[in-house]
Structure 1
Amino acid sequence: MTGRPAPAVLPLPLRVGLGLIAAFAALVVGVLGVLYADDSEPGTVDARIGAASDGVGPPWWYVARAMDFLGEPVGAATLVAATVMGCLLLRRPRAAVLLVAGVGMTVGTATLLKHLVGRTIHGDGNLSYPSGHTAFLTALALVVALLATGRLGLGRTAGTSLVLAAALIAGAAMGWAQVTLGAHYPTDVLGGWCTALAVTPATAWLVDLVADRMADRPVDRPADAGRRELR
């Protein structure tokens, strides 16, 4: 007798496409990390985009602050807890596991990369590449989009489009807030977004792999266990 597996968090039609996207995103993270290693100044693109965000005042400055709060410990913990509760209410335990594991792995990877790359902003050792806030919200959006894709039964094209759109919206919103507040350079934001695109699908594949193997393990019935003891 085998356990019945829960729905996959990384739908089969999306695996190849998201795998290729994750590989390309990892390449972008690596290239940007090499280009800006131990740097403390904005690049040409950073300067141009940053200039466009200068002078942002109320009410948009308050919007940026609110977005930034979602990536802070209290805001992030609240978002994760609420989303995990939603996954459990929808009877999607794998999605709940992926949410915690995917977000944790993404933020952990971003933190590790910050120390490896060593890029700073505003001096005083403020490590900036990649943006952890952007990586966090993008990873969260990816998990929610994967859950929606599975529940709606979307195919490869529609499902991939939904996942990428959710990641783009979340990453753009948080990235805009980080650049507006001067917390990160635009290339830091891009690095954080790509970090989530690289890590979250890989974590989803790993969650499915482990869950499927656990579900395939034989489960002893009480009567079978009793017969073993008599022997």
Structure 2
Amino acid sequence: MTGRSAPAVLPWSLRAWLGSIAVLATLAVGVLGVLYAGHGEPGRVDRWIVEPTADSVRPPWRRVALALDFLGEPAGAAALMVAVVAGCLLLRRPRAAVLVVAGAAATVGTATLLKHLVGRTIHGDGNLSYPSGHTAFFTALALIAALLATGRFGLGRAAGTAFVLAAALVAGAAMGWAQVALGAHYPTDVLGGWCTALAVVPATAWLVDRMADARRRERR
């Protein structure tokens, strides 16, 4: 008895496009990392964006920025993940629940490793800043949710790719704005975090599908 196979967390229709985007995102992360390795000051692009806004946002927008920032902190991130995993399990999508945990962990782990490899700091106090872990995590979670929605509603290649990228852009822009506005990161740190999620999540989703399908074949 084989049963019905669980739906893939990385829809087949999106694999080629997201694979190409993941490669480009990986290159972007690497190039930015090389450019800002060991730096402790904002670059030219950072100065153009950050000087009038960094740590200067006022209420009520400061409260919005702080709320978004909390969602990238351990307590807020854990609460978000628990909620999304619970939703996946209620919808009987255990493979999707695995992707939520594995995708978020892989993205945050990659961002943390890159911080130590690149060694970029902010405010001159030794705080490693590249790439932004908050932005990477929030973008990763949005990507995963969009992938699951794409598969569930059967979106085609064009619509699915546009939806996934739009979700990643909105999430990355929201958290990135908060990080820059609060003075926690340079804009290029935010871009690096966004690209980190775009590089890691599709690869993790592909791996989760491969492992789940292999396990299912072994049980036949």
What TM bracket, shorter-length normalisation? over 0.9
Distance 1:34 1:159 in 2: 33
Please name the residue that 1:169 is paired with: 170
Distance 2:39 2:158 in 1: 39
Distance 2:153 2:68 in 1: 28
* One-letter amino acid of the counterpart of residue 45, structure 1: V
Find out whether 1:97 has 2:86 as its counterpart: no
Please name the residue that 2:13 is paired with: 13
* One-letter amino acid of the counterpart of residue 208, structure 2: V
Distance 1:156 1:183 in 2: 37
Please name the residue that 1:56 is paired with: 57
Task: List 4+ stretches of structure 1 deviating above 3 A.
Answer: 1-4
Find out whether 1:196 has 2:197 as its counterpart: yes
* One-letter amino acid of the counterpart of residue 35, structure 1: L
Distance 2:41 2:112 in 1: 20
Contact 1:5 1:211 in 2 (8 A): no
Contact 1:46 1:187 in 2 (8 A): yes
Please name the residue that 1:187 is paired with: 188
Find out whether 1:76 has 2:87 as its counterpart: no
Find out whether 1:39 has 2:25 as its counterpart: no
* One-letter amino acid of the counterpart of residue 76, structure 2: G
Q: CA deviation at 1:2?
A: 3.4
TM-score of the two chains, using structure 2 as the length reference? 0.97
Please name the residue that 1:227 is paired with: none
Q: CA deviation at 1:25?
A: 0.1
Distance 1:49 1:153 in 2: 39
Q: Tell me how large the CA RMSD over aligned residues is.
A: 0.9
Superimposed CA distance per residue, residues 106-149 of structure 1 (whole angstroms, 9 cap, x where no aligned partner): 00000000000000001221000000000000000001000100
3-state SS of paired residue (2:51): helix
Please name the residue that 1:154 is paired with: 155
Please name the residue that 1:228 is paired with: none
3-state SS of paired residue (1:110): helix
Please name the residue that 2:217 is paired with: 216
Q: Which protein shows a greater Rg?
A: 1
3-state SS of paired residue (1:116): helix
Gap runs ≥5 in structure 2: none
Please name the residue that 1:226 is paired with: none
Distance 2:103 2:213 in 1: 18
Distance 1:56 1:102 in 2: 32
Q: CA deviation at 1:3?
A: 5.1
Distance 2:144 2:95 in 1: 10
Find out whether 1:23 has 2:23 as its counterpart: yes
- Report the CA distance shift for 1:218/1:87 in structure 2 as closer, same or farther (over 3 A): closer
Contact 1:138 1:167 in 2 (8 A): yes
Distance 2:106 2:10 in 1: 16
Aligned residues: 219
3-state SS of paired residue (1:217): helix
Gap runs ≥5 in structure 1: 220-231
TM-score of the two chains, using structure 1 as the length reference? 0.93
Q: CA deviation at 1:5?
A: 2.1
* One-letter amino acid of the counterpart of residue 125, structure 1: G
Distance 2:64 2:41 in 1: 26
Q: CA deviation at 1:218?
A: 3.6
